[in-house]
């Protein structure tokens, strides 16, 4: 199987994986950031530019040490086991309640060229006031670990480059479901306090690609609503036939070039 920096990926056949049919794939929102994207304030563009510098600096720092983002995510592990969380108990910031883990699916369960990916979350204690879970999720306690909200996933290549952003249905991460505007407000508060390059990189990625993430979350809601309208006999949030709810391919080089052009237009 594929490996990175000598860490072998090990299959875990006991864990099943669900695949999307062609019909489901047709319902997934593929989002791109075009020139007609909503206007971004100079302040937001400045934040994105600062985040871009941090993203590039973190990757350069790791490269100069003979490492990359995947090696950092697997640090301390002798093998890379499909479906396992890295680190085992996730990374959880005690102050902001931002959270993430890294893992991989079995190759047969990948509908894109996803080698592995980071899942990012906001814990209940870090959510802004006024956010309200959808439907039956209102009954989940803030003390319940499942009260976290999934923000976005970052898909990686074997060489440690980000290549795609995507969102998922509730059952995938056992999250508590919030509508897009509430989740977007959580994205704004996502910050990892660790000084290491991986923590700084993930924090900055959610700022650098903030416009794409916002659109993905709105498209996620639209995809779930369409699925529910077409499958009224089941709980849409627990329907294993719907896994990926929106996605977009990304390129650091292209996005930073787009950002540079926007910044030049503001001067």
From first to last of the 267 residues of the chain, give the pLDDT tens digit.
344 544 444 443 322 223 333 333 333 344 445 444 567 899 999 999 999 999 999 999 999 999 999 999 998 777 877 878 889 889 999 999 999 999 988 776 656 667 899 999 999 999 999 999 997 665 454 444 558 999 999 999 988 999 999 999 999 999 999 999 999 999 999 999 988 999 999 999 999 999 999 999 999 999 999 999 999 999 999 999 999 999 999 999 999 999 999 998 776
Q: Is residue 86 part of a domain?
A: yes
- Annotate 95-127 with b (16+ C-beta within 10 A) or e (fewer): ebbbbbbbbbbbeebbbeebbbbbbbbbbbebb
Quick one: pLDDT at residue 3?
A: 45
Per-residue confidence (pLDDT) for residue 243, from 0 to 100: 94
On whether residue 185 sits in a domain, the answer given is yes
Q: Can you give the pLDDT at residue 38? A: 60
Helix/strand/coil (H/E/C) assignment for every residue in 158-207: CCCCEEEEEEECHHHHCCCCCCHHHHHHHHCCCCCCCCCHHHHHHHHHHH
Q: Where does residue 183 rank: exposed (0-12), middle (13-18), buried (19+ CB within 10 A)? A: buried
pLDDT at 204: 98
Q: What is the pLDDT of residue 81?
A: 74
| Amino acid 25: pLDDT | 31
- The answer to whether 103 and 120 have CB atoms below 8 angstroms apart is no
β-bridge mates for residue 244, sequence order: 168
**25 falls within a domain:** no
Asked, for residue 6, whether it belongs to a domain, the answer is no
> Is residue 7 assigned to a domain?
no
Examine residue 40 and state whether it is found in any structural domain, yes or no: no
**Is 17 inside a domain boundary?**
no
Q: What is the pLDDT of residue 35?
A: 47
The whole-angstrom distance between residue 55's C-alpha and the CA centroid of its chain comes to 15
User: Contact 78/65 with Cβ under 8 angstroms?
Assistant: no
Q: Are 236 and 19 in contact (CB under 8 A)?
A: no
Q: How many domains does the chain have?
A: 1
What pLDDT, on a 0 to 100 scale, did the predictor assign at position 199? 97
Range of the domain at 221: 47-265
- Structural domain contains residue 27: no
Cross-strand bridge partners of residue 99:
92, 121
C-alpha atoms less than 13 angstroms from C-alpha of 82 in its C-beta half-sphere: 20
């Amino acid at each position: 199987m594929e490996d990175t920096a000598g860490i072998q990926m090990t299959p875990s056949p006991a864990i099943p994986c669900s695949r999307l049919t062609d019909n489901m794939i047709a319902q997934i929102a593929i989002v791109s950031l075009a020139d007609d994207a909503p206007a971004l304030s100079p302040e937001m563009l400045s934040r994105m530019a600062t985040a871009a510098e941090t993203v590039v600096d973190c990757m350069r720092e790791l490269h100069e040490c003979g490492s990359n983002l995947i090696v950092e995510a697997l640090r301390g592990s002798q093998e890379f086991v499909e479906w396992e969380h890295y680190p085992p108990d996730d990374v959880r910031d005690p102050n902001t309640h931002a959270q993430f883990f890294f893992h991989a699916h079995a190759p047969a369960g990948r509908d894109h060229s996803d080698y592995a990916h980071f899942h990012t979350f906001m814990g209940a204690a870090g959510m802004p006031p006024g956010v309200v879970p959808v439907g039956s999720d209102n009954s989940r306690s803030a003390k319940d670990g499942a009260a976290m909200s999934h923000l976005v996933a970052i898909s990686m290549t074997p060489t440690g480059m980000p290549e795609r952003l995507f969102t998922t249905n509730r059952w995938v991460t056992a999250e508590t479901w919030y509508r897009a505007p509430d989740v977007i407000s959580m994205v704004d508060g996502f910050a990892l306090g660790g000084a290491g390059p991986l923590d700084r990189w993930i924090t900055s990625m959610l700022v650098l690609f903030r416009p794409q993430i916002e659109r993905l979350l709105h498209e996620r809601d639209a995809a779930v609503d369409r699925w529910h309208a077409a499958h009224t006999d089941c709980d849409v949030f627990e329907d294993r036939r719907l896994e990926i709810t929106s996605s977009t391919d990304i390129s650091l080089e292209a996005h930073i070039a787009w950002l540079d052009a926007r910044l030049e237009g503001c001067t």
